[in-house]
Structures are given as structure tokens and as C-alpha cells.
């Protein structure tokens, strides 16, 4: 099956700032792929290149087999692009935004109105159909932006921070919708700074660190490093959190110094899932009233934090001179398009 998105050796710089240094990955139809990286890792620059809004300096891109550099119009027919902010037509109503967008994709006026009403219902904005876009909240604008990206029924979706500003109920609805769209065979690439959001919806993940995609073997190694697990015991006035930590340490045959505290919870490191299973068995066997036992962070966050710690420069030795001037840092993704070509 042809990949929905193919990226090979892509680079993009803005003067001396290398926003995207070397990116290679594929995203498959029928799956949601998460784009994971900190501010300045090149996520938005990459999204803009895929959306045919920015030309790469080097490398190859394909969206549904179409080259966005050679055939931008062809890519836009199969691609739905949701930027981080709505950014258009603030005086138009929500329905008018969608009708105008649909007509740009050559839908007749009647078909555009029908599609707009369908999408307003899909993203739960029917009650605000007549409201100007400028008065919508951040979360409501995000839902309108998603509807706009879907207006021409695209096969590929690029979503930049789609859950930003959404309330908990709207986040759940977004998750359900994205899973449904993927089940229909669409390719979905989405970015988010909140890794727990991605964890709940993605099938695959692409990690960007300093403008480069991280090799699969490095990700696999990072995911297997020691991880903290959150343990909570049922407590009452007779057992403090410190006492609970002591009980947990004794049951696991560890020293108290190995176990951290986070409010009511103990944080216990385990080398792998098998170690966590044995630890839970030991806690229950010791008669401790365990009410919560779970990884302190999700798989994506665990791997990402480990990768970031690997890429961090070592601290200077004691007494070393302060470093001299360095090249400009890669800016936040929201700002790295200022020199867009």
C-alpha cells in the first residue's frame, strides 16, 4: 500500500538557523501518526512544507504520491491542513467560513452550504453557526479550523496542535473523531506539545530532536530505560505519606532513598514491565492497600524525555571558562516561519 505521507532527507534553513536538518519518515493510511518534539524542533516548518506552503531546501516529499513542490494544486486537492490558529476571515460567520472554503474547492453553492452544515454538526458548532469567527473562543476556533480542513473530504490530514484550547469534553470528542477518520482509511499526521494527548490517539510516532528524525533503534532503546511508576496506598490518619513510602520500600526490599514522593503518591523505579509486575505482586503480597499502580508517564513521554536527556550537552567541568557566543538557537515553531520563502 502506498504511504499517505513520505518524507526523505528533507532540510530547510532560514539564514543561519537550521529549522529542519534531516527528516525521513512515512505515515501510513488508516493510522494516526504523532509528530513529537519540543519548541524549535522543526515541527511546524515540516508541516508547512508538507502543506505546499514552504519549499524545502533539499530532500523529497510525497502526499498520496504527489510532490507538493512540483504539483501544489494536486496536493491541496487531497490534503486537509489545520494550522495552529484559524487565521482567516474574522468577520465571517462560522458557516460562511466553511461555505467560502468549500467554494474554493469548487463545490457549488448549494453543496457548500450542505457540507458546511454537516461539518458544523460534526464539530459541535451548530449553535454558533451564525457567530462571527472573531468572537469564538480559542477552542471553538480550533474546532472550526478542523471543520475547514475537512471541507473537501481529504485523504490526508495535517493537524498542528489540534487539541489546543479544547475543554476536556471537546478533547474526547476530537479523539473519537480522529479515530473514526483514520478507520475510514485517511492518513493523519498531528503534532502536540501535550504528549498525553498524543498517547491516547496515535498509532505511530515520529520523534524530532534538533530538526532531525530519531532512528527507530534509538527510540526503542529509550523506551526500555528505567521508568518511574506511581504507587498510591489507601491512607488514613494512622498512616502518613512518609510512612507509606517506608511500607512500600520494605515490601520491595528497597531503601527509602530509592523511592520518591509526589503529593500522595510514591514514585518507584522499575527496569521494565516485568519488574513492575513483580513489584505489584510484592506490594499486594505484603498486604498493602494499593489503590493506584501505573507508569508515572506514558510511553511517548518516557521515550521523549530519555531522548532529550541524551541530546542535552554535558555540563562544563568545574572551573571551566564560560562558553563564548553560539549560533542562533532554533526559534519556537510558532515563529520559525517569519522568513518564509
Answer for the pair 20, 211: CB distance below 8 angstroms, yes or no.
yes
Question: What is the rounded CA–CA span in Å between residue 23 and residue 37?
Answer: 12
pLDDT of residue 260: 87
Which residues lie below 8 Å from residue 309, measured CB to CB, with a gap of 6+?
Answer: none
Count of CB atoms situated within 10 Å of the CB of 86:
20
C-alpha pair distances (Å), 12 with each of 46, 212, 341: 8, 11, 10
pLDDT of residue 299: 67
Question: What is the rounded CA–CA span in Å between residue 177 and residue 174?
Answer: 5
User: Smallest Cα–Cα separation from 173: which of 135, 123, 126, 218?
Assistant: 123
Question: In the chain, which ranges are continuous DSSP H helix?
Answer: 43-50, 72-78, 94-104, 109-122, 138-149, 168-183, 195-199, 216-223, 241-252, 273-285, 299-311
pLDDT of residue 37: 81
C-alpha pair distances (Å), 23 with each of 175, 237, 281: 27, 55, 43
Chain length of the chain: 341
pLDDT of residue 152: 95
Task: List the Cα angle 297/146/105 in 5-degree steps.
Answer: 145
Distance from the Cα of residue 235 to its chain's centroid: 36
pLDDT of residue 323: 42
pLDDT of residue 205: 86
Q: Which domains, and CATH codes, for the chain?
A: 5-213 (3.40.50.300), 222-299 (3.30.70)
Which residues lie below 8 Å from residue 23, measured CB to CB, with a gap of 6+?
Answer: 7, 9, 10, 11, 42, 46, 59, 208, 211, 212, 213
Residues lower than pLDDT 50 in the chain: 312-341
pLDDT of residue 262: 81
Radius of gyration of the chain (CA): 24
pLDDT of residue 55: 95
- pLDDT tens-digit map of 59-104: 999 999 999 999 999 999 999 999 887 776 788 999 999 999 999 9
pLDDT of residue 184: 94
Answer for the pair 296, 267: CB distance below 8 angstroms, yes or no.
yes
pLDDT of residue 303: 66
For the record, the C-alpha cell of 334 comes out as 510558532
Question: What is the rounded CA–CA span in Å between residue 15 and residue 221?
Answer: 35
Amino acid at each position: 500500500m502506498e504511504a499517505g505521507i513520505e518524507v526523505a532527507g528533507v532540510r530547510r534553513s532560514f539564514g543561519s538557523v537550521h529549522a529542519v536538518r534531516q527528516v525521513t519518515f512515512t505515515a501510513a493510511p488508516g493510522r494516526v501518526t504523532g509528530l513529537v518534539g519540543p519548541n524549535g524542533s522543526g515541527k511546524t516548518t515540516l508541516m508547512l512544507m508538507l502543506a505546499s506552503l514552504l519549499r524545502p531546501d533539499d530532500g523529497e516529499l510525497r502526499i498520496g504520491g504527489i510532490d507538493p513542490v512540483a504539483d501544489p494544486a494536486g496536493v491541496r486537492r487531497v490534503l486537509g491542513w489545520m494550522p495552529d490558529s484559524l487565521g482567516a476571515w474574522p468577520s465571517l460567520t462560522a458557516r460562511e467560513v466553511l461555505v467560502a472554503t468549500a467554494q474554493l474547492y469548487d463545490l457549488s453553492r448549494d453543496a457548500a452550504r450542505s457540507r458546511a452544515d454537516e461539518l458544523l454538526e460534526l464539530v459541535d458548532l451548530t449553535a454558533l453557526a451564525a457567530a462571527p469567527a472573531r468572537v469564538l473562543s480559542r477552542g471553538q476556533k480550533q474546532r472550526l479550523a478542523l471543520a475547514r480542513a475537512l471541507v473537501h473530504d481529504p485523504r490526508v490530514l495535517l493537524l498542528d496542535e489540534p487539541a489546543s484550547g479544547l475543554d476536556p469534553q471537546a478533547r474526547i470528542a476530537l479523539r473519537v473523531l480522529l479515530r473514526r477518520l483514520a478507520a475510514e482509511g485517511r492518513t493523519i499526521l498531528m503534532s502536540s506539545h501535550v504528549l498525553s494527548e498524543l498517547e491516547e490517539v496515535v498509532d505511530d510516532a515520529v520523534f524530532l530532536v534538533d530538526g532531525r528524525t530519531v532512528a527507530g533503534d534509538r527510540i526503542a532503546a529509550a523506551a526500555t530505560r528505567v521508568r518511574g511508576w506511581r504507587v498510591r496506598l489507601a491512607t488514613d490518619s494512622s498512616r502518613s505519606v512518609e510512612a507509606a513510602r517506608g511500607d512500600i520500600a520494605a515490601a520491595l526490599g528497597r531503601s527509602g532513598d530509592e523511592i520518591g514522593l509526589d503529593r500522595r503518591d510514591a514514585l518507584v523505579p522499575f527496569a521494565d514491565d516485568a519488574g513492575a509486575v513483580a513489584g505489584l505482586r510484592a506490594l499486594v503480597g505484603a498486604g498493602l492497600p494499593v489503590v493506584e499502580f501505573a507508569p508515572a508517564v506514558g510511553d511517548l513521554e518516557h521515550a521523549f524525555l530519555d531522548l532529550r536527556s541524551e541530546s542535552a550537552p554535558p555540563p562544563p567541568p568545574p572551573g571551566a571558562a564560560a562558553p563564548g557566543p553560539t549560533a542562533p538557537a532554533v526559534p519556537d515553531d510558532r515563529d520559525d516561519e517569519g522568513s518564509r520563502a
